């Protein structure tokens, strides 16, 4: 079997265009322009690149982008003071504090300080708890993107056997909750799971969020299954250059799966598109307007 490639780049571009249409509608009909504040502390190269892409996407969607750069040496008190100021700013509907934070900062304290209604990363315990309780919530962007991609292949996930590899608060746990809300039968696995390949082979839908390059082999995959690869791993390539690979061995998976996401160009682009979705959703909720059509 040769798997269909799930084109995350194209699906994300379509989603961003729909967000932009919602932003225009909100602005003309209600005079609301959604605003996203992104806070970057320190000089992490990957974070700088992520933050740049987020600001670009925000502006392209017609939203206001507020960029806050703080030095590596920023104190906990100063960072918390900025979050407090953004919580109170009516032009800001979404707040994202880019992780990782400098070592002197307690990241959980900072995430806990974000107003849950503006928590577009969905990492605040209130949003995590609401998601786990089946209540409306701002949901972490990468898991939201994973489920959207899976639904391009299977409009209904009800009754499917889903296996998630990884139990992080950022990906594994929230994607599990979202799949459960879609009525999939979900197994969550981690580094202590026994016979992981055997568990994975049961899956109609396999989500890999591990952080181990190409760990999932072709013979872990049930023929015809849908595979969502969240991993982003930089490995040595040819000519001394590096290249990006996922947590799934793509060449092997494409011979067995029914559909698979590539890395890059799969889940990655959906993460930023879903951040745009969350910002519009937050803006509507804060303005007391019905939820947008994205
Ligand atoms: P994480 O916090 O390090 O969590 C990794 C999870 O994988 C843990 O639950 C860990 O189990 C499990 N794991 C590690 N080794 C394992 C093994 N040998 N067998 C089974 N499970 C194992 O990572 P994360 O933040 O969830 O990220 C996972 C991957 O997704 C990374 O490659 C990251 O770069 C990528 N990512 C991509 C995006 C995107 O936009 N595409 C966004 C976020 C993350 P334990 O809990 O037992 O330790």
261-294 pLDDT per residue, tens: 999 999 999 999 999 999 999 999 999 999 999 9
Q: Which segments within 8-113 are labelled E, that is strand?
A: 35-41, 64-70, 94-97
Share of the chain above pLDDT 90, in %: 99
Does the predicted model carry a pTM greater than 0.95? Answer: yes
Long-range contacts of 137-140 (CB under 8 A, 24+ apart): 138/278, 138/281, 138/282, 139/174, 139/178, 139/278, 140/170, 140/171, 140/174
Report yes or no: 261 and 268 within 8 Å, Cβ to Cβ: no
For the CA of 190, the closest atom of ligand 1 is 21
CA atoms of 227 and 11, how far apart (whole Å): 16
Report residue 244's pLDDT band, with 50, 70 and 90 as the boundaries.
very high
Q: What is the mean pLDDT of residues 83-104?
A: 98
| Residue of 164, 209, 250 to test ligand 1 pocket, by largest number of atoms within 8 Å of CB | 209
Question: What's the burial of 209, exposed, middle or buried (CB within 10 Å: 0-12/13-18/19+)?
Answer: buried
Ligand 1 atom with least separation from CA of 211: 32
- Mutate which of 54, 199, 207, 230 for ligand 1? The one with the most ligand atoms within 8 Å of its CB, which is 230
| pLDDT at site 107 | 97
The alpha carbon torsion through 214, 220, 225, 231 (nearest 10 deg) reads -20
- Whether 81 shows a pLDDT value over 80: the answer reads yes
The pLDDT assigned to 156 comes to: 98
Active site residues: 54, 98, 121
């Amino acid at each position: 079997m040769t798997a269909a490639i799930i084109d995350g780049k194209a699906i994300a571009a379509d989603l961003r265009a729909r967000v932009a249409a919602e932003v225009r509608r909100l602005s003309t009909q209600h005079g609301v322009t959604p605003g996203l504040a992104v806070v970057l502390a320190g000089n992490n190269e990957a974070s700088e690149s992520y933050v740049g892409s987020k600001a670009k996407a925000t502006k392209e969607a017609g939203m206001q982008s507020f960029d806050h750069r703080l030095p590596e040496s920023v104190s906990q008190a100063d960072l918390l003071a900025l979050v407090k100021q953004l919580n109170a700013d009516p032009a800001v509907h979404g707040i994202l504090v880019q992780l990782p934070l400098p070592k002197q900062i307690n990241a959980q304290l900072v995430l806990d300080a974000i107003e849950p209604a503006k928590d577009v990363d969905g990492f605040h315990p209130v949003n995590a708890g609401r998601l786990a309780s089946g209540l409306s919530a701002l949901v972490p962007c990468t898991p939201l993107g994973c489920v959207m991609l899976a639904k391009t292949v299977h409009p209904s996930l009800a009754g499917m056997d889903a296996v998630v590899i990884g139990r992080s608060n950022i990906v594994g746990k929230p994607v599990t909750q979202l799949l459960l809300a879609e009525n999939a039968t979900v197994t969550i696995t981690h580094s202590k799971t026994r016979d992981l390949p055997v568990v994975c082979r049961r899956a109609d839908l396999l989500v890999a969020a591990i952080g181990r390059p190409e760990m999932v082999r072709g013979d872990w995959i049930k023929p015809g299954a849908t595979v969502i690869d969240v991993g982003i791993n930089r490995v040595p390539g040819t000519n001394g250059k590096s290249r990006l690979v996922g947590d799934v061995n793509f060449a092997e998976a494409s011979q067995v799966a029914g559909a698979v996401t590539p890395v890059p160009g799969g889940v990655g682009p959906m993460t930023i598109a879903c951040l745009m979705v969350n910002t519009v959703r937050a803006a509507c909720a804060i303005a007391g307007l019905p939820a947008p059509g994205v």
